[in-house]
Amino acid sequence: MRVKTRIVKVDPLGREESLLIPCAEVLRRGGLVAFPTETVYGLGANALMSEAVSRIFQAKGRPQDNPLIVHVSRPESVAPLVRDIPQGAVRLMEAFWPGPLTLLFAKSDLVPDVVTAGLHTVAIRMPDHPVAQRLIDLAGVPVAAPSANLSGKPSPTTFEATLADLEGRVDVIVDGGPADIGVESTVLDISGPVPRILRPGGLSPEELRKFLGEVEVAADTPHQGPPPSPGMKYRHYAPRGHVYLAVGSPKEQAESIGFHAARHVILGEKVLILASSENAPEYAPLAGRWPDRLSVLDLGPRDDLPRVASRLFAGLRYADETGAGVILAESFPEHGLGHAIQNRLRKASGGRTLRPAERAEMNILLVCTGNTCRSPMAEALLRAIWQVECSEIHLNAWSRGTSASDGMPATPEALKAMAARGLDLSGHRATTVSEEDLSQADVVITMTEGHKDSLTRRYPAHAGKVVTLAAASGGALPGDVSDPFGHSQDAYDRTAQDLDTGLRAFCERIKRVI
């Protein structure tokens, strides 16, 4: 259901109380109000009203089993919401509130189950933002508020990003300028013998350790059993394109990102690189070569992690604005805010990484229909051309058919056409393509548009890797490679010549980027 969203622009210092009073009234009566905090924008509802809280889940499309954080404007507001306040929590609240630290408490009956998704604990924090504080204070009720994004998308750090996601879905959006920290709060569980960070965030583990001594950080992706915090099991912070996270030293990351950026551009993808300031100049030549296909966003220096954190979600959202199908992100040092940055990047990437070694090897699958003529010839030709043009990179090339008679040798005409070039196809046996082939390949080159359609329909998850030889050749080959099967030796020789032209142009393009 669409609602009319009122926009209220306020002074970021929260001084315009007259503007905030009506927003607070909307909150208190059960409406939805998005507002800035120091971490990210939040989407708030009266935490004591089940129906109001349910509307948050609807507006965001948030899974019902992912609990919300309750926001208070003063520490005294915690007592009615919890069974008791352990001494450890009192000390943490004194030290870090207001601020980006969320604490778990045993919940009281006052807190509706919908807030905690049925858990017996409630997560509470006091934001350090004058607008959030005044708004909650004026509402006079605790405010349940997850990040103000559509579920699964990067959290909004600006009014504009909040508006883009929630216009028509919430009653009010308060524009109080950009959020300062840029990543969400740290969620801390102090119920066990060792305090445990369930979600790294704006308060670093190091700062907590200074205060608490030992502190554990829960793994990003729990392997078995229920996750300690329900939010951990969801794919999060993800733009529409696929995110790949580079690992290794800064130099290795620049190398693998450069290589994969070029590969994806050649495959016809639009690529965005999320770079550190140190490595950003390394990508300038690529961006210069393909200005409309590849862009680079400088997230900030590796030694200024607060800056990187504050730009991260905007960077992930920028990917959607540019229409990038592939986002290649650098890793940042995992200390201080780097824990939160890496956690968000890993979630956004869904586990896709670029490893340094990947640069040295390229896996290319060639596909035709029967795997007895075109693709085996293409495989042999590619190996031969590659040896001359791209020898720095190890090539694994193999060929398959979309509907092959498994075990058939290459046709005598194909053998002959290759023998004329000193290449031997006698050991070849036809094989039908499988999902496994597509998983192993970095690039899948098809002989025709028809083969490409058939593969992308069968294996949509790998669609981004599949390209026709005509496209891979950058236009050197004007269209489909025609099927010589059943035709004369002449037809085979002409097909071999087309394959040679297309593959040579493809190798040239690869060579220019290595």
Name the site residues for Mg ion (rule: CB under 5 A).
146-147
Smallest separation (angstroms) from ligand AMP to the CB of 95: 20
What, of ligand AMP, Mg ion, none, does residue 229 touch, CB below 5 to 8 Å by kind? ligand AMP
How many Å is the Cα radius of gyration of the chain? 28
Smallest separation (angstroms) from ligand AMP to the CB of 40: 8
Angle formed by the axes of helices 374-389 and 412-419, nearest 10° = 20
One of 187, 314, 326, 340 touching ligand AMP (CB under 6 A): 187
Distance in angstroms (rounded) separating the CA atoms of residues 51 and 37: 24
Say if CB 72 and CB 124 are below 8 A apart.
yes
Q: Is the dihedral of CA 346, 349, 352, 355 positive or negative?
A: negative
Q: Which residues within the stretch 423-452 sit at the binding site for ligand AMP (CB under 6 A)?
A: none
One of 33, 123, 354, 503 touching ligand AMP (CB under 6 A): 123
Cα 159 from chain centroid (whole Å): 22
Binding pattern for the stretch 192-231 against ligand AMP, x by CB under 6 A and - elsewhere: ------xx-----------------------------xxx
Task: Give, as one character, the DSSP assignment of residue 247.
Answer: -
Smallest separation (angstroms) from Mg ion to the CB of 450: 43
- 258 Cβ contact partners less than 8 Å away, ≥ 6 residues apart: 282, 283, 286, 513
What, of Mg ion, ligand AMP, none, does residue 119 touch, CB below 5 to 8 Å by kind? ligand AMP
Distance in angstroms (rounded) separating the CA atoms of residues 74 and 78: 8
Nearest to 305 by CA among 205, 216, 182: 182
Binding pattern for the stretch 134-173 against ligand AMP, x by CB under 6 A and - elsewhere: ------------xx--------------------------
Distance in angstroms (rounded) separating the CA atoms of residues 272 and 297: 7
* Closest residue to ligand AMP, based on beta-carbon distance: 231
Distance in angstroms (rounded) separating the CA atoms of residues 50 and 46: 8
Q: Which residues within the stretch 103-122 sit at the binding site for ligand AMP (CB under 6 A)?
A: 104, 116, 119, 121-122
Distance in angstroms (rounded) separating the CA atoms of residues 198 and 184: 12
Smallest separation (angstroms) from ligand AMP to the CB of 443: 37
Q: Which residues within the stretch 33-72 sit at the binding site for ligand AMP (CB under 6 A)?
A: 66-69
Smallest separation (angstroms) from Mg ion to the CB of 39: 10
Smallest separation (angstroms) from ligand AMP to the CB of 241: 22
- 468 Cβ contact partners less than 8 Å away, ≥ 6 residues apart: 445, 446, 447, 448, 449, 451, 452, 480
C-beta of 100 vs 146, nearer to Mg ion? 146
C-beta of 57 vs 459, nearer to ligand AMP? 57
Smallest separation (angstroms) from ligand AMP to the CB of 177: 20
**Sites of contact with ligand AMP (CB under 6 A):** 66-69, 104, 116, 119, 121-123, 146-147, 184, 187, 198-199, 229-231
